[in-house]
Amino acid sequence: MPGILSDELRAELIAFRRDLHMHPELGNQEFRTTAAIKARLEKAGLAPEVLPGGTGLICDVGEWDGVTPMLALRADIDALPIPDTKAGVSYRSTVPDRAHACGHDVHTACVLGAGLVLSELERQGRLPHAVRLLFQPAEEVLPGGAADAIDAGVLKGVGRIIGVHCDPKVDVGKVGLRIGAITSACDRLEISLDGPGGHTARPHLTTDLVTAAARVALDVPALLARRVDARSGLAVTWGRLVTGHAPNVVPQHAELSGTVRCLDLETWRQAPDMVHAAVDEVAGMHRAKTVIDYVRGVPPVVNDAESIGLLDAAMTLRRGSYAIEDTEQSLGGEDFSWYLEHVPGAMARLGVRTPGDTRGLDLHRGNFDVDEEAITVGVELFTASALLDGNRS
């Protein structure tokens, strides 16, 4: 099957990824990243279109005939607001408190590389049907930039969409595939607790807001765990709790922030009402007034069987069946799920761990890094999928 990376393009894509890694940009601020992708696609003779918000873009390889559904290859392009703590690498982030600690730079290089390879095949008359490249901004910003991209019409003419996500638990050269849900739903929860305040010598005359906040933090997750089927995987986890200014003053205000994650789509739909009720119940026992801001995030990514079959066949042709492994559903959220509300598709887990590496790297940590051979694997997977999908249709 055609579509193998040349050594020259492989080196270019690694350099491109490293440049993005050194200049990470947060969601909806990816102007430099967008410009770099656009310039490289235009150099290849393609005609990318920047999305209405000024960041992110789409680019068709080949001319859509207006009838045959296209395959879309999706990459996310934003970074995270955390410091890059890697040592001993030349491509460490140059932007304070910004890092590509989730592998979006790798995803971007994979789709860019696939687009460049497919463009050459199209010039040779060897691309069966047009393919859409989608470089999406703001994946890390709930409810995700995918929703805005869909509103902008990126799925017009698309019949199927595929993507990859870096997985530091999978060796480079392999991908993890799963039919059905592969991620969880993820929402954001912000809670304010209020009371009159007072002296710590007389907590009985006021609302002991510190205790109230502590009980909400402890009891709400426990209460919800007994009100839903355990198999739904509903989990409330706190990332922030702030209250008080002095050791002898009962504060008037407390704040908690966290996430609500859920493996099951139906339970996710019921989660806001259940969380509201549990918070009010626990806070009410301590006479604390509540204000709850429940921010809807993303549903689970649910891979359809035919799209997984396409990825399986593509990877088998490229690297053999040994390069495919089963993968589990995670509690991470991914706004790729919004596309799957409109068209079938699938996300694969792209192995980025060097075989034998025992560092235990994980996503969303400042020391996250990848084996850059993963870029070659991602390009091979995308190009083979495009060719197979075109021939099937």
Give the closest residue to 70 by CA, choosing from 278, 318, 256, 339: 339
pLDDT above 70: residue 4: yes
Taking 70 as the threshold, does the pLDDT of residue 215 lie above it? yes
- pLDDT higher than 90, residue 306: yes
| CB-count exposure of residue 10 (10 Å: 0-12, 13-18, 19+) | middle
Q: What is the mean pLDDT of the chain?
A: 96
Q: Three-class SS of residue 252? A: coil
Residue in 156, 244, 166 with CA at minimum distance from that of residue 198: 244
Largest CA distance in the chain: 83
pLDDT at res. 387: 96
Please state, as a whole number, how many other Cβ atoms lie within 10 Å of the Cβ of residue 99: 25
Say what the pLDDT of residue 213 is. Answer: 98
What is the structure's pLDDT at 295? 93
CA dihedral sign of residues 361, 364, 367, 373 = positive
188 burial via Cβ count (<10 Å: 0-12, 13-18, 19+) = middle
What is the distance of C-alpha 298 from the center of its chain? 10
Residues 6+ apart with CB under 8 A from 45: 119, 123
Give CA–CA dist 214/238, Å, rounded. 11
CB 298 within 8 A of CB 334: yes
The pair of structure tokens assigned to 331 is 């509690």
**pLDDT in the model for residue 391:** 73
In degrees and rounded to multiples of 5, residue 291 shows phi and psi of -130, 120
pLDDT tens per residue, range 270-287: 999 999 999 999 999 999
pLDDT band at 237 (very low <50, low <70, confident <90, very high): very high
Phi-psi region of 109 (alpha: psi -120 to 50; beta: other; left: phi over 0): alpha
Q: Is 34's pLDDT higher than 70? A: yes
Q: Is the pLDDT of residue 393 over 60?
A: no
Per-residue confidence at 225, pLDDT binned at 50, 70, 90? very high
- 340, two tokens: 């799957």
What local confidence, expressed as pLDDT, does residue 344 receive? 98
- Residue 302, pLDDT > 90, answer yes
* Interval 330-377: pLDDT, tens: 988 999 999 999 999 999 999 999 999 988 889 999 999 999 999 999
Task: For residues 70-91, give the mean pLDDT.
Answer: 97
Mean pLDDT of 164-178: 97
- What was the pLDDT predicted at 360? 87
Tell me if 109 sits within 8 A of 20, measured CB to CB: yes
pLDDT digits 0-9 by tens, 56-65: 999 999 999 9
Element (H, E) at 107: helix 104-123
| Residues facing 260 on adjacent strands | 187, 236
Q: Residue 15 above 80 pLDDT? A: yes
Q: In this prediction, what percent of the chain has a pLDDT beyond 90?
A: 93
Q: How many CB atoms lie within 10 A of CB 204?
A: 7
Model pLDDT, residue 42: 98
Indicate the pLDDT class of residue 142, thresholds 50, 70 and 90: confident
Rounded-to-integer distance, Cα 336 and Cα 37, Å: 20
Of the candidates 11, 17, 379, the one whose C-alpha atom is nearest the C-alpha of residue 162 is 379
In the predicted model, is pLDDT for residue 390 greater than 80?
no
Tracing tokens 């704040």 back to the chain, one arrives at 255
